[in-house]
Amino acid sequence: MNDRQLLDMAREAAGNSYSPYSKFPVGAALECADGTIYTGCNIENAALGSTICAERVAVCKAVSEGQREFTRIAIWGESENYCMPCGACRQFLVEFSPDIEVLCSKAGGRYVSYPLSKLMPYSFNY
């Protein structure tokens, strides 16, 4: 699967976004080392802090199915700037795959790609 196809899966996943508060749907598509793809969308809550991002939904789905090694994650959001993963999602991803490739798109479909190690250096661990 190429980057574009993974981003398309993220865009499709955003269609299930529950985001009545921000009105900002986000989708994610997470590729596992064995090639399996798990998608996720943001799920908001009236208690705003209980909101969960699309990326963490995808990771939770994957880990709960026995996956622990990830190679790429595509993030889709119709924003003016590239839709980058928040700090909590970076920490969540680094737990399992510190070198995962992170694809971040913006409105119009352009995307950038970074190794997570560049987005999340000196992450917490003990």
**Catalytic site positions:** 55
Cα gap 45→123, rounded to integer Å: 28
Angle between helices 54-63 and 3-14 (to 10 degrees): 100
Q: Which is nearer to ligand THU, 39 or 42 (CB)?
A: 42
By CB under 6 A, the residues from 102 to 121 that bind ligand THU are none
Which position among 11, 29, 32, 44 is part of the footprint of ligand THU (CB under 6 A)?
44
Residue 126, both tokens? 């003990």
Q: How large is the angle between the packed helices 87-94 and 54-63, nearest 10 degrees?
A: 20
Nearer CB in complex with ligand THU: 35/47: 47
Query: CA torsion, points 125, 43, 40, 91, in degrees to nearest 10?
Result: -10
CB of 24 to ligand THU, least distance (A): 4
Give 67 or 79: the residue with its C-beta nearer to ligand THU. 79
86 binds ligand THU (CB under 6 A): yes
